Amino acid sequence: MSDLTTPSTIPFPRLRPWLAVVPLLLIVGYLVLMDNGALSQTGTFLHELMHDGRHLLGVPCH
């Protein structure tokens, strides 16, 4: 009966790397897939890099 009353712990140390990687992947995914020049207006290099990334991933952009 004591096994039913003890709460299980959340494996936070195993989740810690994902908490750092997932937001980074979301930001990079937004920049490559959805940006269309909104954040990359500072120069043509970043815009062309994101444009080529769309082509590399097979996302239709034009």
16-52 per-position pLDDT tens digit: 788 889 999 988 887 777 766 666 566 777 778 778 8
Domain ranges of the chain: 23-62
Which residue has tokens 């979301």? 26
pTM as predicted: 0.52
CA dihedral 33, 15, 20, 30 (to 10 degrees): 10
